Amino acid sequence: MNTDQPEVASWIIDRLGGTSATAALCEIKPASVSEWRKNGIPQARLLYLRLLRPEAFEPPNKMAAMAYSSSGDPE
């Protein structure tokens, strides 16, 4: 996953709950996370976030499949 691409970094930040929520997870200012949307997520922060919230890095279709299968509905 190349987080140097702004759309990828923004997708991850959104999956983590947005700019303020991501900043709170990393104990930094929201302005720093806003910069990540433009410049990409620094590698050390990316590794930390991936360990802390691995579900935020799952492809959307996998997450939808997991939610559907855990709802008790037939597959």
Q: Does CATH number 1.10.260 belong to domain 6-70?
A: yes
For residues 61 and 33, the model is more confident at 33
pTM: 0.76
Task: Tell me the pLDDT tens digit for each residue of 2-44.
Answer: 666 788 999 999 999 999 999 999 999 999 999 999 999 999 9
Q: Give the C-alpha separation, 68 to 30, whole Å.
A: 33
The ranges assigned to domains in the chain are 6-70
Of 40, 17, 15, 20, the closest CA to residue 30 belongs to 20
